[in-house]
């Protein structure tokens, strides 16, 4: 397996390089992916910077139950437990004290996509996500996920952990791609949008499943 050794400051510190891979649908070149899941602290920057008020970050048609929603109607869906815009798990526009480094939860696909626009990135496609997980590396093809990743990932059923706490690290250096919290991918599906990775309260086999959920789902 070939590796590129990047100069120390040539790629963002919070990202890792994933090597090019040849799949049956074509070749995927090298790309970068975040090292950790997006944290509450990171998402708070989007909230505090007016991300929910600036339409330039919201580039996709709001479709719910077969009906297209207006911008104003969609924002009414994206509120916290006190009715302020923000993740469903927050209160009064903020996350619980002491949970800076926990992954942000309770956001829809639209909110995830808007945050990605805010930081100048994109949600990964399902194939990019699979490549980053290491599906096509010799190590996982030989040893298997159940041996390498699952025992060191958060499938404990007690709740999410801070990012990077668990040592279920992919071959490329990304954490928590299996377990902890589910992750939105770019792709449209028959039921909404693609979900990958499984969560702390899922069965372990969910790490490899191509799941789906309505784009407005905030579970």
Tokens of 147: 């041996």
Q: What is the pLDDT of residue 80?
A: 98
**Structure-token match 């279920």, residue found:** 168
Q: What is the pLDDT of residue 111?
A: 98
pLDDT tens-digit map of 140-192: 666 665 667 888 999 988 999 999 999 999 989 999 999 999 999 999 999 99
E strand residue ranges, the chain: 15-18, 21-23, 26-28, 31-34, 62-64, 67-69, 183-189, 192-196, 211-213
Whether 184 contacts 109, CB under 8 Å: yes
pLDDT tens-digit map of 16-73: 999 999 999 999 999 999 999 999 999 999 999 999 999 999 999 999 999 999 999 9
Count Cβ neighbours within 10 Å for each residue of 184-205 and write b for 16 or more, e otherwise.
bbbbebeebbbbbbbbbbbebe
d(CA 72, CA 49): 19
Tokens of 11: 């790629």
pLDDT tens-digit map of 100-124: 999 999 999 999 999 999 999 999 9
Helix, strand, or coil (residue 75): helix
CATH fold of 16-213: 3.90.1580
Radius of gyration, CA atoms only, the chain: 17
Alpha helices in 97-181 (DSSP H): 109-118, 126-133, 138-143, 145-148
Annotated domain spans of the chain? 16-213
| pTM for the whole structure | 0.93
Which own/partner pairs from 63-69 qualify as long-range (CB within 8 Å, at least 24 positions apart)? 63/215, 64/214, 64/215, 64/216
Burial class (CB in 10 A: 0-12, 13-18, 19+), 219: exposed
Nearest to 174 by CA among 27, 37, 52, 5: 37
Going from the C-alpha of 122 to that of each of 109, 116, 128, 129, the distances in angstroms are 12, 5, 11, 12
């Amino acid at each position: 397996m070939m590796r590129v050794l990047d100069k120390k400051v040539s790629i963002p510190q919070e990202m890792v390089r994933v090597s090019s891979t040849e799949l049956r649908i074509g070749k995927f070149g090298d790309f970068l992916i975040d090292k950790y899941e997006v944290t509450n602290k990171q998402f708070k920057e989007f909230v505090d910077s007016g991300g929910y008020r600036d339409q330039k970050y919201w580039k996709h048609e709001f479709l719910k139950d077969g009906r297209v929603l207006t911008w104003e109607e969609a924002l009414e869906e994206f509120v916290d437990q006190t009715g302020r815009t923000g993740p469903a798990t927050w209160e009064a526009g903020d996350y619980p004290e002491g949970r800076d480094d926990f992954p942000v939860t309770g956001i829809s696909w639209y909110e995830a996509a808007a945050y990605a626009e805010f930081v100048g990135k994109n949600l990964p496609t399902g194939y990019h996500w699979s490549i980053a997980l290491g599906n096509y590396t010799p190590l996982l093809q030989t040893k298997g996920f159940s041996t390498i990743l699952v025992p060191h990932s958060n499938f404990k059923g007690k709740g999410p952990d801070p990012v990077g706490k668990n040592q279920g690290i992919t071959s490329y250096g990304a954490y928590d791609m299996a377990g902890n919290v589910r992750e939105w991918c770019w792709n449209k599906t028959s039921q909404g949008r693609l979900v990958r990775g499984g969560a702390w309260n899922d069965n372990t086999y969910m790490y490899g499943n191509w799941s789906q959920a309505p784009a407005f789902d905030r579970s």
